Structures are given as structure tokens and as C-alpha cells.
Chain A
Amino acid sequence: MAEAHLSPRIIPDRLQSRGSRALKSWESLLLVVAIAIFAINSFASPYFLDPWNLSDATFNFTEKALIAFAMALVIISGEIDLSVASIIALSSTAMGLAVTMGADMPMLVVVGLGTGLLCGAINGLLITGLGLPSIVVTIGTMSLFRGLSFIILGDQAYTGYPASFAYFGQGYVWWVFSFEFALFVFFAIVYSVLLHKTNFGRAVYAIGNNQTAALFSGVRVGRVKFILFLLTGLMAGIASICLTSRLGSTRPSIALGVELEVVTMVVLGGVSILGGSGTIPGVVLAAFIMGMVTFGFGLLNVPGIVMSIFIGVLLISVIALPILWSRARRRRAH
């Protein structure tokens, strides 16, 4: 669906210095917004600044952010994965099924991760093996994966997860820092290194900017993309373990519509939906912003569906505003 812009590109005579580029970057704007939201929230509700409340607030975004890291790489490479919420559902259903068959705690984790990897592999094979457009494939697997959960579960629910399983979604590593938050920090670092410091990361950017050129430069495009979808499946599996553990139950409608929030988080983080640019620190900031905004709304008793309007508006406006801004600047330049 991505296509080149028809408008001409303006190439500046002189490159900006490192400092001024960092100041004008999307990430620094996000940082300002994050601080502003933090400040507004602390004024709007006296309960916001409590450390335990803030700790609770992190649960609003940690699971989604885990997927968003992998999704950022997928989108930078010029593809998209809309099936992540359904992978969560199928993973969770598989774990529930495993519980009824008497699986113990480590086995549950294996089942959860394995299902995620398998789903990611199916997406990757269809997209890279058969060369199909990722948007339609993942719309298809989105109904397939959730459909399988519906076939297995129907209108039933799985509960009865072992007590030790609760740690992933409800446990704390130290003081107010939850296990999920620790995972979030860990994977933020892992994905930052992977994208910004390795050959693999460079290959992801190269593919997103010009797939044909990347191919001719010796990048194994198919293999890189396959790994990206595998990673997304794995992260969805991890998110599923956390979410299932936190809720303590599985229904086929679990995590409905999460793919939208994940994509919004990635795009808000400054990743170009057309591929080729974006950073992990940007996604981390976007995760904080979305988490704090939804938590702030929650403290003010705003219903969930109204928050979803906000997320929809946010998604469109974060893409529209830079376009309008650069257009206005170009007009001034002429």
C-alpha cells in the first residue's frame, strides 16, 4: 500500500549540527509532551503522583509496548502485522488448553511462547515465502487465529491457572517495579541495540527505504522479514503470557483491538508508516505517553470507548501534523 510521494524532495545546502538536529527531533518533542502530560495529570488528580498508582499505570502500556518494539521493526521494514491481538488470543487459549491437560507452570510458558512463534512463522512464511502483501495476509490470519480460539473455546472461558503463573502479570521485581515493567525495560534495551547497533538493524532500514536496492546490496530481504514476523509473534506470545497471568482467565475475545493501539504507539513514536525511518527510544516515549494519558483519563472516570476515540484522533493527527507542518514550512521557503 505504501507508495512514493509525488512531491519533490528538498535537499538542504548545509546539514544541521548534531545538537540542533537532536533538539528538533520527533523524540525530543515526545519528551516535552510526556513531561507536559505528567504535569497536567498531577494537577488534575491528587492520586496520580502516588508511586503505587504510577506503578499500576505502567500496566496500561507494558504489554502493548512489548509488541510495539517488534512492530516498529516490521513497520520500518515497510510491512505491517495486524494479527498481533489475535496471536495473543490464540496463545492464551493454547495456555488455557494446556492447563486443562495438566501442564505445569514452565510448560505453560513454553506453550505460550511456542504458539506465538508458530503464528509469527505462519505470517512470515505466507508473506516472504509466497510473496503476498502483509496487510491482507495479516487481516486473514487475524480472523484465522482468533477464529481458532473461538472454535476451541466457544462461549466458555479458561480459568484455574496455577498460582505460580500469576507472577508474570502480578509480580513485583523490587518495590513498585513490576515484572512486566522489568520486561519492558529489558526489551527496550534489546530492541534498541538490535535496531540501532547491529547489521540486522541496518538491513531493516535498508529494506524499508528501498527493498530492491537492499536486495542488490546483498541483504537477504526474505530472511530478514521472516525473522521480523517471527519476533513479532514471539513478543505477542510474551504479551499473552503477561496478560493472561494478569487477568487469570482466557476468553476468545481477549485483547480485542489491541493491534490498533500497538500500531498507534509505533506511529506516535515517530516511525514512518511508509517504512524506512523511526527509532526505539521514540516508541518507548510513545508508550509512556499513551499509558499515562489512558491512566489519567481513567482517574477522571472517562469510559474506555471514549479513550478509544482519543487514540483514533491521536493516530491520525500524529501523522497529519508533521505533514501539515512541513507543508507550511515549504510554503514559507518559496
Chain B
Amino acid sequence: MAKLLKNREILLVVAIAILLAAITLRFPGFIAPANLARVYNDTSILIILALGQMAVILTRCIDLSMAANLALCGMVAAMLNAAFPGIPIPLVILVVVALGALLGSINGLLVWKLEIPPIVVTLGTLTIFRGSIFLLSKGAWINAHQMSDAFKALPRTSLIGFPVLSWLSVLAIAAVYILMTRTAVGRAFFAVGGNPHAAVYTGIDVGRTRFFAYCLSGGLAGLAGYLWVSRYAVAYVDIAAGFELDIIAACVIGGISIAGGIGSVGGAVLGGLFLGVIKNALPVINISPFAQLAISGTVIIIAVAVNARTEKRKGRVILKKAEAV
């Protein structure tokens, strides 16, 4: 039982269940399956982004540029569609995922080759990416009527009862889960974050692993960029401004240690869902949407305090037997 309580995923499931129960007391309709599916769909983009951020945080880095990367890729997708409506949507998605990965690789290269602290690199690229959107669009908006119907329809097309947006996030979760648990690169993320020096001695290139993590977060940000723009049917300089904090919040809530090496795909997904439920519940229980920022902030602080406590307990004397002898 005690072991179960220490498990972050189970704790989060319980926390989300309590949250849902509390909301249901005020508004019974919230827990209806159709509404829960809507809440999941609304949280899909956050979950996709949290998966990328998780990989980066696991390697002891951080990516503050994800939201700006998303916005830039979203703008490129929208402009591409507005200029050439004939290009098939899957190709557009492919282009922005590649572009996102390319932008992520800039972060990765700076961290890998120049060993600049990740926070400085991504703080810098955050403003550079945002500024580039302005240079690209000249500050203009791409509105719904400039986008083709196919461009806007894809995320909301229903497939076996759920929108494509939801399915794409499920696909991303599955892919990242396989990457994390079944491939050498996935294990390297954990090794590099757990102990970079030990990772070097086991033959893992620390910098290159971080580079891959940034490419992954960039690629996922690119995908999220298309999804965001097509879902809300508008692209401008400031879309998803400040969203990088929500992404980090989802990871920290999900038990991914900011010190690297500790975390799981399940944690990132549940952390995102926790925020998603709060965000969707606020208007239902009549709390001003302006309160959301303060709530995210409080949750980040509580989550990081809880993380620090659980990580502290993990320390143990490994040479006890030798001492006894």
C-alpha cells in the first residue's frame, strides 16, 4: 500500500479522480463520457508538447522555446496553406514537423557543441522564434477564410468516435512510449540525466543525446503548431504565448524531476490531463479564466515541492553490507 502511494502515476490518477468528483458535486454533467472525451481532446496539444519537454528535462536540460517554436511552425503551416491551398495536408504536417525539428536542432546544437546552458539557449531562441514570426508575417494575421477547408477540418474529423486530434495525441504517446522504453536512445535520455559522467563511461555521447531530445521536442512542437492553428483557425505572432510554462507545469506535476533522469510517459500525460481538467472546470464552476495563470503557478510550486520530498527519500546507503563486515 505504501509503495502504491509513492507511485506518482497512481497518486495523479487519484488526484484527478478527486478533482473530477469535486467538480461533479457542483456540475454533474462534467463527468459525462462525451464531456470527458472533449476535455481530453482539448488537452491533446498540451500532452503532445509535454512528451517532448519530458525528453528534454530527462537529460537535465529545459526547452523554454517550445511555445515559440509551435507558433512559428503554426504560422508557416497557415501561410503555406493560404498561398498554396493545393498542397495536401499530410505534406503540410510533414513540412512543419521537419521545420520544428530543425528549430529544435538549433537549440540542440548550441547545447551540444558550445555547451551553453540550456536555459540561456532556449530563452534566447524563444525571442528569436517569436521575432521571426513577425518578420515572416509582417505582423499580419492569417484568418479562417484564408485557410482551406481541408486544413481546418482535419483535427476535428471524427474517426471511430473520436476526433483526429485526440488520435494524434494517442499516437504520439504510443510512439514516445516505445522510444523511451524500447530503444537505446530512450534509455540514453534517462542515463544522461541520471548521471552524465557515468553515461560518458558507458559510451553514451551526452551532448548528442541532448541534441536528439531537442530534435524530438522541436518536432512535436511543429506538429502541435499545425494542430493549434488549424483547431483555432487563426495564426498570429502571439499564439500560445506563455504556453511554455503550462508545458513545464505538466511535466513537473507529472513527477518528472527538473534535476533530470526521473520521469515517465504516463506521468507527463497525467500531468497534462490534471492541468486540462482544471482549465476546463474553471468556467464550469464559475471561476474567472483570469485565475488560471495563478493556479498553474501554485500547482507548479506545490508539485516541485512534492517532487523534491519524494526524491530526497530515495537516497540510501548502498555500502551498508560492507560496513557491517
Chain A residues close to B by CB (< 8 Å): 1-3, 5-6, 80, 126, 130-133, 135-137, 139-148, 150-151, 154-155, 252, 257, 260, 263-264, 267, 273-274, 303, 305-306, 308-309, 311-313, 315-316, 319-320, 323-324
Contact = CB atoms under 8 A, between A and B. Distances in A.
A3 B110 contact: no
B134 A305 contact: yes
B116 A320 contact: yes
A230 B118 CA distance: 26
B295 A147 contact: yes
A271 to B, nearest CB: 11
Interface string B101-133: 000000000100011111111011111101110
A50 to B, nearest CB: 29
B110 A308 contact: no
Contacts, number: 146
A83 to B, nearest CB: 9
A312 B297 contact: no
Given A132-B304, A145-B297, A316-B125, 14 more contacts: A133-B258, A143-B245, A147-B290, A147-B296, A150-B291, A154-B290, A273-B119, A303-B139, A309-B131, A309-B132, A312-B128, A316-B121, A316-B124, A323-B114
Given A1-B60, A147-B292, A303-B134, A140 B304 contact: yes
A133 B259 contact: yes
A130 B132 CA distance: 40
A12 B61 CA distance: 32
B114 A320 contact: yes
Contact of A137 (B61, B288, B304): B304
A163 B256 CA distance: 50
A312 B124 contact: yes
A139 B297 CA distance: 8
A154 B130 contact: no
B62 interface: yes
Decide if the interface of chain B is mainly helix, strand, loop or mixed. Answer: helix
B118 A142 contact: no
Contact of A308 (B120, B127, B252, B295): B127
Give me the 4 closest cross-chain CB pairs, A-B, nearest first. A147-B294, A144-B297, A309-B131, A147-B293
Given A132-B304, A133-B258, A133-B259, A313 B124 contact: yes
17 contacts: A1-B60, A136-B258, A141-B301, A144-B293, A147-B292, A147-B294, A151-B291, A263-B123, A264-B124, A303-B134, A306-B135, A309-B128, A309-B131, A309-B135, A312-B124, A316-B125, A323-B115
B288 A151 contact: yes
Contacts of A142: 245, 297
Main secondary structure on chain A at its contact with chain B?
helix
A139 B135 contact: no
Contact of B297 (A2, A147, A264, A315): A147
B93 interface: no
Given A312-B128, A320-B110, A320-B116, A144 B301 contact: yes
B298 A132 contact: no
B227 interface: no
B239 interface: no
A142 to B, nearest CB: 7
B276 interface: no
Nearest to A144: B297
A273 B304 contact: no
A3 B56 CA distance: 16
A85 B118 CA distance: 21
B216 interface: no
A262 to B, nearest CB: 11
Contact of B298 (A144, A264, A312): A144
Contact of A305 (B237, B252, B300, B301): B237
